[in-house]
Amino acid sequence: MKYVLDTNALSFLMKGDVSVAGRLTKTPRKDVCVPQPVISEIEYGIARLATSKRKQMLMDRFKLFKAELKRMPWTDKVSHCFGKIKASLERRGEPIEDFDIAIAAHAMASDAVLVTADTSHMDRIQDLNVEDWSKDERVS
């Protein structure tokens, strides 16, 4: 099984969340990927913080996870999935943030499970497999 980490899943890891870290340690590294939109969101979150020990700790942990976890490229297949997801959500009157759609599209394009705690948004996307490792239970 291949897993794609959403921004909140990587954030939980950076903060040392026991449930998410426990699931990650049980999952082969080759099966865990991070899409570029997640990297962008984490970079933005860290850049917003004032200089502090907390910011430095998050930067250090982020650097570690970037070195350990492989990235997913934004391919034509991801763009195709993005378009289908966004159009479907708009038709149903259930739009979500473009970055959330982009992250979901990466998971769908690679037939992977999206690891997220944001199930209120992601469960709107048809045929998207989702797991919430912060609760250590399968959502759909």
Instruction: Give the count of domains, the chain.
Output: 1
Give CA angle at 85 (81, 103), nearest 5°: 65
Domain that includes residue 33, residue range: 3-138
Q: Is the per-residue pLDDT at 27 higher than 90? A: yes
pTM listed for this prediction: 0.91
Q: Which CATH number fits the domain that encloses residue 103?
A: 3.40.50.1010
- Across the range 45-52, mean pLDDT stands at 96
> Alpha-carbon distance 32 to 28, whole Å?
7
Task: Tell how far CA 44 is from the center of its chain.
Answer: 15
Q: Is the per-residue pLDDT at 138 higher than 60? A: no
Amino acid 103: pLDDT: 97
Residues whose CB is less than 8 angstroms from the CB of residue 42 and which lie 6 or more positions away in sequence, other chains included: 7, 10, 11, 14, 62
Average pLDDT of the chain is: 93
Amino acid 136: pLDDT: 54
